Amino acid sequence: MNLTNCYSSHPNHSSQRTDRLTTPFPIFKLCLTLCLTLCLAFSLLSGCDDSSSESSSMTDLSNMNMTELNGTEVYEFSSRDGEDSSVSISGQIARHALIEGLKSYMNSLESGIAQQGVFEEGELTSIFSIFFDCIDDVCGDESITVSSFLPLKQANIADLSSGKNLLAKLAGQDPVGQHKDWANEFIGWGQDTLSPEALIRDWFTQVEEQAISISNGEMLMTPKGELIQRPDLSSTGLDYTQLTQKFLLGAVAFSQGVDDYLDDSEDGKGILSDHTALVEGKSYTELEHSWDEAFGYFGAARNYLAYSDDEVAQAGGREDFQGANDLNNDDQIDLLSEYNWGHSLNASKRDRGHSTDLSQKAFAAFYRGRLLLASTNTALSTEELTQLKIYRDTAVLAWEKAISATVVHYINACLNDLDSGAEYDFATYAKHWSEMKGFALSFQFNPRSPLSSDQFSQLHTLLGTAPTMPDHSDATSYRMQLLEARSLLANAYLFEQNDVDTW
């Protein structure tokens, strides 16, 4: 039984597929050589990666490094042992694709149920499980559900990576190294203590129960008395598809990036991983790979700096830079290197028309950190590790600020919905609210979050666990709560008022 194949769309380019290049982007090696030469020259002149301590403040150093980049930098680095690329992020991109696949499937449920119905307990949750648990690699045959202006190099999940799933990388699943015990310390979803896994599975169950009810002709109603045909839309205004997708971007991608791969809380893990030798049979050191895995979860294309914000957001600019770019000119888009996923896309969306440049800040810090690793041939010195931590802090802060700006964006959308009064559109408001809430749950996963625990808790008290409807008697006070939540974020992340008002 595979309802997925009935319900989801199939942008299938398998007939066009070719084997993966074994030595991709030879031009990058030229670039790397050039960049390393320039860096070496620069370091001799100014001590960019040496021990001098004249500018130890994060702001000064990150600003200095920003000015060195010219937009042509590509996140591609050869192995210290030879010519092969040492950047491998297939597992991270596979999880981005699984999150997108799950979202597409949940989105398609309304039409699927109209055609076939869902009548048995376990029928839907077992399909969600294909993406979420992917036991025995059953997700490998699932189609890639994103698309681009050129054919994609990969047609299904197995073309990206094998043996990957979402659950194993969800907050609370790593045996060591997570900065909280997520079974007991996860907050933001009401009084009951749920783990992130339990919360996701609860949402899956809610959707299934509603799907069975709809199939049996028992539909719920919105507060306005409209019948709800969608199994992923609750009568209280929860859009489970949006909640699930946005929460997974936080609880898998952001959590793994910032609490695991870029953290320094455990000897031998994250940025304290081994850098003395290549991992056996691989072209990278553990430290290089850890850094790259975090970059993969940020989701940017390798030549992200070459895009304008409009181009990443597919809202203008050059025709061949629209969310993706055929960097190696093989007339197809390689999802592992030529496509902007999730967080990197949202960073550019927020930058568009605003004072921030979170997209460049994040990428530049990832790039500079990786360049440092590529230019060292043994364990990092104390000074090098200090420098790497500065790049780490810069990347993580820009990444989190992009998420926070996105929460502000959806708070503003909810404020507009509330202002519509009785004319509001229920599904639209539910979608905006659920995107806001799903992303807002992310901040707790960063051990370096600018939000204190108290502020995080306060934020979620203000947002609540369901939207207050615009024609409800509490709408005015809920509107005040959203404004207070927005101010809390603006103050914690040092956003400019004009950005906050217009995101």
For residue 27, the minimal CB distance to Ca ion (Å) is: 12
Q: How far is the CB of 169 from Ca ion (least distance, A)?
A: 13
**Cβ proximity to Ca ion, 208 vs 334, nearer residue:** 334
Token pair listed for 120: 């048995």
Is there a contact between 451 and 492 (Cβ–Cβ < 8 Å)? yes
Residues 456, 439: Cα–Cα separation, whole Å: 12
Compute the distance between CA of residue 246 and CA of residue 242 in angstroms, rounded to an integer.
6
Which amino acid is located at 385 in the chain? L
Nearest to 479, CA basis, from 412, 435, 408, 418: 418
By the 8 A CB rule, do 324 and 368 touch?
no
Min dist. Cβ of residue 382 to Ca ion (A): 21
CA 441/CA 461 separation, integer angstroms: 12
Q: Which is nearer to Ca ion, 8 or 85 (CB)?
A: 85
**210 versus 394: smaller Cβ distance to Ca ion:** 394
- Cα–Cα nearest to 259, from 185, 336, 172: 172
Q: How far apart are CA 75 and CA 443, in angstroms?
A: 26
104 vs 111: CA distance, rounded Å: 12
CB of 171 to Ca ion, least distance (A): 11
Q: Which tokens sit at 361?
A: 């800040």
Amino acid (1-letter code) at residue 418: L
Q: Which is nearer to Ca ion, 123 or 357 (CB)?
A: 357
Smallest separation, CB 24 to Ca ion (Å)? 9
Nearer to Ca ion, 161 or 360 (CB): 360
CB of 392 to Ca ion, least distance (A): 12
Q: Which is nearer to Ca ion, 36 or 272 (CB)?
A: 272
What tokens were used for 86?
């040492």
Q: Taking the complex as a whole, how short is the minimal distance between the CB of residue 58 and Ca ion, in angstroms?
A: 20
Tell me whether residue 359 or residue 387 sits nearer to Ca ion (CB atom). 359
Under the rule (CB under 5 A), what is the footprint of Ca ion? 177, 179, 259, 263, 265, 309, 326, 328, 330, 334, 351, 357, 359
Contact present, 359 and 344 (Cβ < 8 Å): yes
CA–CA separation, 129 and 205 (whole Å): 11
